[in-house]
């Protein structure tokens, strides 16, 4: 038995996230089927984590075990996988790793980016939240800085999730204006809760719209109550951007 990682990217518009679900198309389902077909055995991948329905991934890592050597050299296997997979899922790399490697538990940080388009743009409909409301970006960044001072993010977690702890260590959170009338929010942490980034973005937008103060933002975090936070920002603006490992 040998362990391998697969690095991929995907456009999440047509999928109910990464993780296999009954009666709903997911990225993991298609990757498992493609690997199983080419390797002539049942392959079950283990991903670095969930992504929400409609969320995209620029960089995603999963591992899998194979009872036999891979049937083709890496480049040829990648080519064949990309021929089988839908056009909105792309395999970037496959390589062997040590048997104890775990795509989820060995990740030391994850980075997400959220894109907002501040001017109508038909070419960004599926990859950004089109929001034509004046925002105080400086105030949003002051609130984003405060995230680094907290660890319990229950207020930004989907209700009734099955995680053991709602503690996360955020190491970076910042809004930047870019060319093309876009705002980009980048956030890095050791882990994220289900729906957390979209809930954080939605609440920061309330700060930017002057609907809540920075002090209100602190109180929302400290309340540990999802009902006090803002509405989750739409999924199409969110990208899983990078996953970092020490042992890759």
The yes-or-no answer on residue 162 being catalytic is no
Q: Tell which residue, 79, 144, 107, has the closest CA to residue 240.
A: 107
Which of 52, 93, 138, 145 is catalytic? The answer is 52
Q: Which residue has the tokens 């994220």?
A: 192
Signed CA dihedral, 23, 234, 229, 222: sign only: positive
DSSP 21: B
The answer to whether 36 touches 219, Cβ cutoff 8 Å, is no
Which of helix, strand or coil describes residue 114?
strand
Read off the tokens for 149: 């001072």
Helix runs in the chain, H state only: 27-39, 74-84, 137-146, 196-208, 214-223
Distance separating alpha carbons of residues 202 and 188, to the nearest angstrom: 17
The answer to whether 242 touches 171, Cβ cutoff 8 Å, is no
The answer to whether 10 touches 57, Cβ cutoff 8 Å, is yes
Distance separating alpha carbons of residues 241 and 7, to the nearest angstrom: 12
> What is the Cα 230 distance to its own chain's centre?
19
The answer to whether 108 touches 190, Cβ cutoff 8 Å, is yes
Active site residues: 52
């Amino acid at each position: 038995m040998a362990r391998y990682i697969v690095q991929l990217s995907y456009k999440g518009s047509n999928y109910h996230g990464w993780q296999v679900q009954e009666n709903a198309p997911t990225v993991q389902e298609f990757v498992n089927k493609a690997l199983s077909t080419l390797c002539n055995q049942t392959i079950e991948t283990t991903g670095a984590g969930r992504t929400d329905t409609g969320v995209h991934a620029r960089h995603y890592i999963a591992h899998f075990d194979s009872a036999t050597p891979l049937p083709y050299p890496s480049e040829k296997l990648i080519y064949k996988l990309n021929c089988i997979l839908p056009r909105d899922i792309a395999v970037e790399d496959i390589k062997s790793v040590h048997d104890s490697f775990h795509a989820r538990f060995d990740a030391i940080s994850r980075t997400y980016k959220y894109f907002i388009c501040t001017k109508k743009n038909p070419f960004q409909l599926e990859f950004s939240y089109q929001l034509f409301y004046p925002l105080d970006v400086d105030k949003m960044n002051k609130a984003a800085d405060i995230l680094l001072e907290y660890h319990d993010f229950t207020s930004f977690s989907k209700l009734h999730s099955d995680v053991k702890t709602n503690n996360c260590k955020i190491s970076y959170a910042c809004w930047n204006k870019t060319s093309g009338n876009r705002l980009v929010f980048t956030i890095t942490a050791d882990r994220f809760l289900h729906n957390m980034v979209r809930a954080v973005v939605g609440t920061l937008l309330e700060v930017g719209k002057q609907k809540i103060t920075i002090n209100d933002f602190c109180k929302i975090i400290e309340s540990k109550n999802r009902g006090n936070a803002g509405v989750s920002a739409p999924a199409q603006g969110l990208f899983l951007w990078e996953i970092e490992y020490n042992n890759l």
